Amino acid sequence: MREPEPPEGPERAEGPGGYDPVGPRRHEAISPTGQGGAMDLALEEAESLEKGPGPGPAGGSGAQEKARSLWSDAWHQLRRNPVFVVSSLLILFLIVISVWPQLIASGDPLQCDLSKSQQGASPGHPFGYDTQGCDVYTRTVYGARASITVGICATLGAALLGSALGGLAGFFGGWSDSLLSRVADIFFGIPVVLGGLVFLSVVTSNTVWPVVGFIVLLGWPQIARIARGSVITAKQNDYVQAARALGAGNGRILLRHVAPNAVAPVIVVATIALGTYIALEATLSFLGVGLRPPTVSWGIDISNAAPQIRNAPHMLLYPAGALSLTVLAFIMLGDAVRDALDPKLR
């Protein structure tokens, strides 16, 4: 979790690429967005990657060791990092129980017994019962599925859309680049919870897809900005000039030479964004516009438990703990990956 030194770039009053009303300033790694501090941190982590090429991505370790590629080098680094090991084991566990929740929870999350409403822990039901008399443990386990689904789908969507648009804009520049920056500014101007309330309150669907769609809609500009900056840095390298001199076309240069060297920051920001998207889904569900019953979701459970917090705090604490742990795991994973991919931090 060491912080990188901010790059000493040329003096610039605005963000990279001209006008940028919410762009980062010189000493600031990344500017704040409407998504709040967590997302700002995610962007800060990734932005540090795209700046100085440093000693060069590959072979940074010099003569003592055999030259390794950035990725195998990063993998060697990661395996020795306890933060990475712990968070990836946790994430693996979460993915397994979201696919097969019956592995550790034998009950049915929708089967409830009103006579047991708000009762505390009892044998076989370690987390007690909620207001409807449902087993809190079973519901907490089953709630992982909604969160992980929304998190992974939204991140995939936002990362693909954002890196495609941002990468193309950064590679070709010109009017498409300016257009992308303006469109991104428009999305940055809208506070994210507010936009979610407005957008999702008019949607009447019981599936996770409107929530995923909304998060992609507001999430892609951040990733596009990272991808754009990263591609602009990568395309100035000598090997790109060499490839062009050898007669390679735009498509080949972009896919074979620029993309593999520009993808690292996008991966880091996407990992951390996954955690923040899960928190965002829970917030929207909490406000009553995200996922809807009968979908089992931590946000809904917390929202239902909140008025009863005086009588039965356990109903709130367990789903809230699971949610926080999940978000923490993804943010720590992103942090560890960032550390491994940034050669300057060694």
Partner 1 sequence: MGRYVIRRLLQMIPVFIGSTFLIFFMVYALGDPVAALFGDKAPDPATAARIRKDLYLDQPLWKQYLHYMNQIFQGDFGTAFNGQSVTSLMATAFPVTLRLTIVAIVIEVVVGITLGVVSGLRRGRSVDTSVLVLTLVVISVPTFVTGYLLQYLFGVKWGWVRPTVSPDAPFSELILPGIVLALVSLAYVTRLSRTSIAENAKADYVRTAVAKGLPRRRVVTRHLLRNSLIPVVTFIGTDIGALMGGAIVTERIFNIHGVGYQLYQGILRNNAPTVVGFVTILVIVFLVANLLVDLLYAVLDPRIRYA
286 binding partner 1? (CB under 8 A): yes
Least CB distance to partner 1 at residue 154 (A)? 16
Is residue 313 reached through a cis peptide bond, with omega within 30 degrees of 0 on the bond before it?
A: no
Among 89, 198, 242, 255, binds partner 1 (CB under 8 A): 198
Of 134, 146, 108, 147, which Cα lies nearest the Cα of 312?
134
Amino acid at 90: L
Among 332, 336, 337, 340, binds partner 1 (CB under 8 A): 332
Stated length of the chain: 346
Q: Which is nearer to partner 1, 42 or 262 (CB)?
A: 42
320 binding partner 1? (CB under 8 A): yes
Least CB distance to partner 1 at residue 315 (A)? 11
186 binding partner 1? (CB under 8 A): yes
89 binding partner 1? (CB under 8 A): no
Among 16, 57, 167, 275, binds partner 1 (CB under 8 A): 275
Least CB distance to partner 1 at residue 201 (A)? 5
Among 58, 156, 160, 193, binds partner 1 (CB under 8 A): 193
Tell me how far apart the alpha carbons of residues 300 and 146 are, in angstroms, rounded to a whole number. Answer: 11
Asked if 130 contacts 136 with a C-beta cutoff of 8 angstroms, the reply is yes
76 binding partner 1? (CB under 8 A): no
Is the Cα dihedral 338, 343, 344, 346 positive or negative? positive
269 binding partner 1? (CB under 8 A): no
Using CA atoms, how far residue 168 sits from 158, 171, 244, 247, in Å, is 15, 5, 17, 20
6 binding partner 1? (CB under 8 A): yes
54 binding partner 1? (CB under 8 A): no
Tell me how far apart the alpha carbons of residues 189 and 64 are, in angstroms, rounded to a whole number. Answer: 50
3-state SS, residue 237 = coil
306 binding partner 1? (CB under 8 A): yes
Tell me how far apart the alpha carbons of residues 299 and 133 are, in angstroms, rounded to a whole number. Answer: 18
The stretch near partner 1 (CB under 8 A) out of 70-78, 113-121, 122-130, 278-286 is 278-286
Q: Which is nearer to partner 1, 107 or 221 (CB)?
A: 221
Tell me how far apart the alpha carbons of residues 248 and 333 are, in angstroms, rounded to a whole number. Answer: 37
